[in-house]
Structure 1
Amino acid sequence: MFVRKEWRDMTFRKETFKVCFHTWKCEDTGEEFEDEHFAQLNYNQVINQYREKYNIPYPDEIKSIREKYDLSAIKMSHVLGFGDNTYRQYEAGEVPTQANARLIQMAADPRKFLDMIDLSHALEGSALEKARRNAERLIDKADKEEAVVISYLFDGKRRSRFTGFGKPNFEKFVEMIIYFCTNQRPWKTKLNKLLFYADFTFFKEYGVSISGSEYYAIDMGPVPDNFNSIFEHLTKTDLLKVYNKIFSDGGVGERYLPAREFNDKLFEEPALKILQSINDKFKDFSTQEMIDLSHEEIGWQQSFDDSHRPIDYLYAFELKN
């Protein structure tokens, strides 16, 4: 048996999308089949494209919107005018209609959520007061400078093929940085490549990125968007320590060390395994070797001439290293 990959059309809700379709193929009989992993990977690709096209929120986003107001799924359904079990089904993976998706996205804004509470009359008594307090607390938090900075640097991006269909998650991205800095203490240029390979390798396996970071092709290989500003922010907030070295050619190298331990609680087991595999695979590679390897990647080659456009995660299926 060997893995066969080809671009095929798949249909969802009467719309057709192209996916990199994975199957096992028998060399002797020519028979092809999907195992459970490939079936999920193929399905994820078409669903992700549908969500991207219509800006449909993902299950984790839908759940987090409800949880930040500390409401049950059935109460959230009532506030939005859904059926009793609808919100729970969306959290479990069912794709919302476009109309319901807009309502859920509006509810993510605590100011609009306060209006929804008043309009729906779905909450009363202590439940109403608790929801109000949570919404008002979120409004205050969103106005703080830290939230504004993080949104500008990372979280303000729309979920798309350029984020690997992953929700831009600054906390996870920071932990990925801390992970590699703890295990390798790499120079900044190599660190950027490790982050790229971790996110793109995870997408290759599961159809979604770990961090939701966008990556751009520069002369020294793929780099996360706003990487210089992000590293500067992390040093100012005492999450990283930076050490500079002046080389004989006049260049300056930056090496980052973690200021605290890696928090593995933010990641599920598959993501931790990918981080470990990338660390083990490239641990003994020099910075220049990492640059050379990244230049072999089709995604970098195809994106280098358009520095204003992020690298499409679909190139992950063509990773060379």
Structure 2
Amino acid sequence: MKSPITGKEMLLRHEASKVAFRKEEFSIVSHYYECGDSGERFTDDRLDELSIVQVHNQYREKYGIPFPDEIRRIRERYGISASKMSEILGLGANSYRLYESGEVPSVAIGRLIMSIRNPETFIQQVSASACFLTAKEVAKLTLAAENLRAQPAQEAVFPSKLNGYRQPDLSKIAGIIAFFQGFLKSPLFKTKLNKLLFYTDFNTYKLTGYSTTGLEYRAIQFGPVPSQFQKMYVNLSETGQISIDEQYFGNGAYGDEINAKVAFDQTLFSPEELDVLEHVANRYAKLSTDDIVKLSHEETGWMDNADQKALINYRYAFELRQGIKPIS
């Protein structure tokens, strides 16, 4: 970004700061451009949005308010429109659509939305709304909820600062593997792939305030890795999205070769996520496994957590040595 004072390119800087939201203060990493000659600070819409997202995410996490993706998924489970869901829950006509788009609901409304994840609770809401629903609508929605009730309950994973405020998404993980394999025109080995996933997620968080995949990362001897990467790769293999082939390198050394079994589908990713994939591919993908491991050992997030083999807070994304720059 060029300085409106001198016309010269400005430096992008960041610092810890506090921002008020709903009568509370939250600690974030704020970003700004600094004019080298005048010392004046400037921001743009993208940097302002990044600050707002950080605040909203912390507020949602603190009070158990669902995130936009979860709000949308809850509605889609029942095959209902946003306007109809608003009607059933007694909200304003466009409220549910606004919550899916990022507006933060009140604590009470957030908990109401979370409660209808339970099909039984949703049936109760539909029954209470029967006065303005047709008999056909009541029957259809009740059947959809009953079908969900018959399915085994899935383990809930809540968005937090340790998974980049996303729920894990195997389809996106498989897509990322397909992207890097296509970029390199060769299969990937697990150790290197773990680092490419880390740099993808943490760069996306640096740019948007969200991760791409919803994975947690742990600092271990060979750098940051998805915290349950063995289970993750098995799940991807069992669902036919990748294959895992053990290769012998000699001298008692083995490695797992990962091959994507799905084509890369860019519609799964936002424009910002696609920008990050290109950045990570150009910066890291062609490095040798040893080189990318060494580079990951220079990241503050790994250094601060390696001794305890602890999970890495996504806030470390703002300390990446060669992270993606915000796109104005």
- Give the alignment's TM-score, normalised by structure 2: 0.89
Residue 57 in 1 paired to residue 66 in 2?
yes
Deviation at 1:279, TM superposition (A): 1.4
**1:258 equivalent in structure 2:** 260
1:83 deviates by 2.9
Shift in Å at residue 97 of structure 1? Answer: 0.6
What is residue 20 of structure 1 aligned with on the other side? 29
CA contact (8 A) 2:18 2:25 kept: yes
Amino acid at match of 1:312: N
- Bigger drift between 1-10 and 131-140 goes to 131-140
- Which string of whole-angstrom CA distances, capped at 9 and with x for unpartnered residues, describes residues 30-72 of structure 1? 1112111111111111111111111211223212222222223
Equivalent residues of 1:182, 1:258 under 8 A apart: no
Q: Which amino acid aligns with 1:135?
A: A
- Higher deviation after alignment, 294-303 or 269-278: 269-278
Output the CA distance in 2 between the equivalents of 1:229 and 1:4.
38
1:4 maps to 13
The residue number in structure 1 matching 2:149 is 139
Q: Distance in 1 between matches of 2:271 and 2:51?
A: 21
- In structure 2, the partner of 1:288 is 290
> Within 1, Cα distance between the matches of 2:172 and 2:146?
26
CA distance in 2, matches of 1:80, 1:107: 9
Q: Quick check: which one's helix share is greater?
A: 1
Q: SS where residue 40 of structure 1 aligns? A: helix
Question: Which shows bigger deviation, 190-199 or 131-140?
Answer: 131-140
3-state secondary structure, aligned to 2:188: coil
SS in 1 for 2:263: coil
- The counterpart of 1:125, out of the listed 135, 142, 156, is 135
Are 1:186 and 2:174 an aligned pair? no
The residue number in structure 2 matching 1:206 is 208
How many residue pairs are counted as aligned between the two chains?
A: 310
User: What residue number does 2:302 align with?
Assistant: 300
User: In the TM superposition, what is the alpha-carbon distance from 1:108 to its structure 2 partner?
Assistant: 1.9
The answer on whether the counterparts of 2:168 and 2:214 sit within 8 Å (CA) in structure 1 is yes
CA contact (8 A) 2:175 2:262 kept: no
Structure 2 unpaired stretches of 5+: 1-9, 323-328
Structure 1 moving runs of 4+ over 6 Å: none
Alpha-carbon deviation of 1:98?
0.6
1:222-233 counterparts in 2 under 5 A? 222-233=224-235
Structural RMSD (CA): 1.8
Deviation of 1:253 (Å): 0.5
Q: Which runs of 5+ in 1 are unaligned?
A: none
| Offset of residue 247 of structure 1 | 2.6
Question: Any conservation in 1 of the 2:67–2:159 contact (CA below 8 Å)?
Answer: no
Deviation at 1:281, TM superposition (A): 1.6
Q: TM-score normalized by structure 1?
A: 0.91
Letter in 2 for 1:85: N
What does the per-residue CA deviation read over 1:160-214, in whole Å, with 9 as the maximum and x for residues that have no partner?
1111122332322222223223433221000000000000011111111111111
SS across alignment from 1:162? coil
| Match of residue 274, structure 2, among 246, 269, 272 | 272
